[in-house]
Amino acid sequence: MTAPSRTPSASSGFGLSVEARNLHWLLTNLVEEVPGLLSVAVVSSDGLLLLSSDPGRNAERPADHSGGPKGSSADLATIVSGVGSLTIGAAKLMDGGNVKQTMVAMAEGSLFIMSISDGSLLGVHATPDCDMSVVAYHMALFVGRAGHVLTPELRSELRQSMESQ
């Protein structure tokens, strides 16, 4: 798999490892292939933003989110981390095993969270009219492809690249 020159939330792919560029490429594909996605974030098990889409380039993004951090990838990362923690705690209390996915349907949007094998989470904010099965399917594809490459070294590289922006 080769990475394109354009990557989400990175001014350029230069200086990133092949694995990091591939994850950016996978995220770009997710955003471009699935109608109705507003923002996507990959969050580490300790709640740090590792990778995100660029919500400003999505035409469907609500106008009231354009001026500030509300709806930004950092906010999505915070929400994904918090909801992920809550569902993990609930699953433990209920002896439910590992949480595979969480979905919140709201009047004006949807939130999808899916576990990645290393404890990281993939979070998606979508429009209320998105096809939930298509979103879940493409998220599962991303998780399947990304899960085995999210090593501690790659997580560290992704964190550093997010901090330098």
CA separation (Å) from 88 to 36, 78, 95, 132? Answer: 27, 15, 10, 22
pLDDT tens per residue, range 61-112: 344 444 333 557 788 999 999 999 999 999 999 999 999 999 999 999 999 9
Residue for token pair 């974030």 = 41
Q: Are 135 and 38 in contact (CB under 8 A)?
A: no
| The model's pTM | 0.80
For residue 115, give the nearest of 149, 92, 89, 81 by alpha carbon.
81
